Structure 1
Amino acid sequence: MKPQTAIEPDSIKAAIFIEADIRNGQTDQIQTACRESLDALEKLQQKYPDALLGLTIAFGSSFWKSLNHPEEGSEIKPFKPLGNGLAPATQHDLMFHIQSLRPDVNFSLGMAVLAAFGDSIQVHDETHGFRWVEDRGLDGFVDGTENPKGDDILAVATIAQDKPDAGGSYVLLQKYRHDLNKWSKVSLADQEAAVGRSKEDNEEFSKEVRLPDSHLGRVNIKENGVGLDIVRRSLPYGTVSGEHGLMFIAYCGTLYNIETQLLSMFGERDGKTDLLLKHLSSAVSGAYYYAPSVERLQNL
């Protein structure tokens, strides 16, 4: 089974993230729109083969379970607030993740997808992300360093081929708003301590000196000697004069890895919260989705 095409490429330059709810009684239209969206994707991929255009269509638990595929996406559930409100829940029915090397091609696909779904959905948020200089987030640190590479990408990001839901993936989408003015007043040493890496040369601090509530200390988790890996496809978003932040999106073959990292970041495991939440970022959204294989998407 084939994974959806926004999951694997890790060298893209721009993305569109859209969340929507499905209007009552529109299941048939959703099925048709998924097929039409895949057709639009294929046409644009053929027209712009160097763009590395990809699309993920993923579903919240309520709608997915209504389709009655109990052996597929069985881990999916609604996002729940964490950390006494530090991580709010803004669960929706549907998520579109479009990414490529070209914002113009992304926009073309986005228009085609929303035309296919038409009035069967109500869009609640649309955010455009961009790759910043040197693969850095707007905090100035290199982002995505811990991502799996090569063949490990799909091995981590998707469900194994011997499972009924092979090629599927669990998705977390969160918008983080940055207070860059506040961050600029934090010393370089404290910024690096909060992240767990050096800022300029992106060197990871050793466990001996890394703070337990640093970002790496919160999300670099091992159980029985095995890392709980996820695949990030996050990008900065914002305008020069307005809001700044990070659209965090993660894919994994099991929701467990994603949720365990979140529980650690937001103090649900040991009471310690990620220092980036103190110095820089506020989560303003949070939702889990299930992205079925391309074959299942063509035949919901």
Structure 2
Amino acid sequence: MTTPQTAILPDGCKAGIFIEADFVSDGLKAAPAACRDSLAALARWQAEFPDAVLGLTIAFGSEAWKSFGHQNEGGELKPFRALGNGLAPATQHDLFIHIQAMRQDAVYALAQAVLAAFGSSIKVAREEHGLRLHQNRGLDGFVDGTENPQGEKIAATALIPAGRPDAGGSYVLLQNYRHDLGKWQRIGTAEQEADVGRSKADDIEFDKSVRLPDSHLGRVNLKEDGVGLKIVRRSLPYGKISGEHGLMFTAYCHTLHNIEAQLLSMFGETDGKTDRLLQHLSTAVSGAYYYAPPVERLADL
């Protein structure tokens, strides 16, 4: 029996912190103890905030994960590659720390403890703090995560299934999308809805007969042999009102294939069509793949 890491399954959390880092020199040697200390800190702060649904994911880039020698686990993992002639840049790092909860103070406290556990073994490359907005809407004004699996389908989508040596693990995508809200507002609601493929006010998906093939839904609502290529989104808006802002797009899946298929479609690698949101709203400024082992493996790297 394996246990998934605790930031993967809980839905609707109000606050999150997203940290990417690289191990310095021989910093990987400190990773096993740092992971155990982080799990202990998680337990302490969960007890302090019992109603906060506090969760933590520690995930590794392909080179870091290979160094632990678990050849039969996380076998699909690979470095992120740039897509769409640079529209989706590759900014692969060694380590991803994802913390989420219903309370910002709980998230902040745990993040402090986890970074203290890793200490000088890592160099932080990027840290962003996210928050869930009113009615679960993104900064673009549309409801975010409508297509997310619900109930038992969350685990079935996000987690590598039982019977595999890496059961309970998950593949992770992290992309930072910077938004140009001025440009977005200038195009007006009708074109915004055409870009997304969904109505803005009441969140109704457009029928395929009228939905544009390069709308966001047209790019990511994919099927193979009649089966939807689903992922579990744990994204949150981030940033400053007066400065940089956007979306920390975070996806978990039992297979990297589903994640990559959506990216190839969005960035024009499948048929030359790119997602309309990339023209009118979003610029991808980062991209990385990670593997989140189950808790038992994380405690015993």
TM-score normalized with structure 1 length: 0.99
| Deviation for aligned residue 1:26 | 2.3
- The one-character-per-residue Cα deviations of 1:260-298 (angstroms, maximum 9, x if unpaired) are 000000000000000000000000000000000000000
Q: Secondary structure at the match of 1:256?
A: helix
What is the 5 A alignment of 1:1-300? 1-300=2-301
| Deviation for aligned residue 1:179 | 0.2
Q: Secondary structure at the match of 1:187?
A: helix
Q: Secondary structure at the match of 1:119?
A: helix
Q: Secondary structure at the match of 1:185?
A: helix
| Deviation for aligned residue 1:27 | 2.6
What is the alpha-carbon distance in structure 2 between the residues aligned to residue 183 and residue 219 of structure 1?
20
Q: Secondary structure at the match of 1:49?
A: coil
Q: Which moved more, 1:271-280 or 1:238-247?
A: 238-247
Q: Which amino acid aligns with 2:14?
A: K
What is the alpha-carbon distance in structure 1 between the residues aligned to residue 252 and residue 146 of structure 2?
15
Q: Which amino acid aligns with 1:102?
A: R
What is the alpha-carbon distance in structure 1 between the residues aligned to residue 291 and residue 216 of structure 2?
26
Counting aligned pairs with the same residue, the percent is 68
Q: Secondary structure at the match of 2:51?
A: helix
TM-score normalized with structure 2 length: 0.99
- The one-character-per-residue Cα deviations of 1:209-231 (angstroms, maximum 9, x if unpaired) are 10000000000000000000000
| Unpaired runs of at least 5, structure 1 | none
Q: Which amino acid aligns with 1:86?
A: L
Q: Which amino acid aligns with 1:228?
A: L
Q: Secondary structure at the match of 1:122?
A: strand
- Please, what is the CA RMSD of the aligned residues? 0.6
Q: Secondary structure at the match of 1:218?
A: helix
What is the alpha-carbon distance in structure 2 between the residues aligned to residue 22 and residue 161 of structure 1?
31
Q: Which amino acid aligns with 1:137?
A: G
- The one-character-per-residue Cα deviations of 1:26-53 (angstroms, maximum 9, x if unpaired) are 2331100000000000111111110000
What is the alpha-carbon distance in structure 2 between the residues aligned to residue 202 and residue 289 of structure 1?
31
| Deviation for aligned residue 1:190 | 0.7
What is the alpha-carbon distance in structure 1 between the residues aligned to residue 117 and residue 88 of structure 2?
32
Q: Which amino acid aligns with 1:254?
A: T
Q: Which amino acid aligns with 1:70?
A: Q
- The one-character-per-residue Cα deviations of 1:134-157 (angstroms, maximum 9, x if unpaired) are 100000000000000011101100
| Unpaired runs of at least 5, structure 2 | none
The count of corresponding residues between Structure 1 and Structure 2 is 300
Q: Secondary structure at the match of 1:247?
A: strand
What is the alpha-carbon distance in structure 2 between the residues aligned to residue 119 and residue 78 of structure 1?
24
| Deviation for aligned residue 1:24 | 2.1
What is the alpha-carbon distance in structure 2 between the residues aligned to residue 160 and residue 124 of structure 1?
32
| Deviation for aligned residue 1:25 | 1.6
What is the alpha-carbon distance in structure 1 between the residues aligned to residue 163 and residue 208 of structure 2?
36
Q: Which amino acid aligns with 1:299?
A: D
What is the alpha-carbon distance in structure 2 between the residues aligned to residue 208 and residue 199 of structure 1?
18
Q: Which amino acid aligns with 1:260?
A: A
What is the alpha-carbon distance in structure 2 between the residues aligned to residue 290 and residue 142 of structure 1?
28
What is the alpha-carbon distance in structure 2 between the residues aligned to residue 185 and residue 13 of structure 1?
29
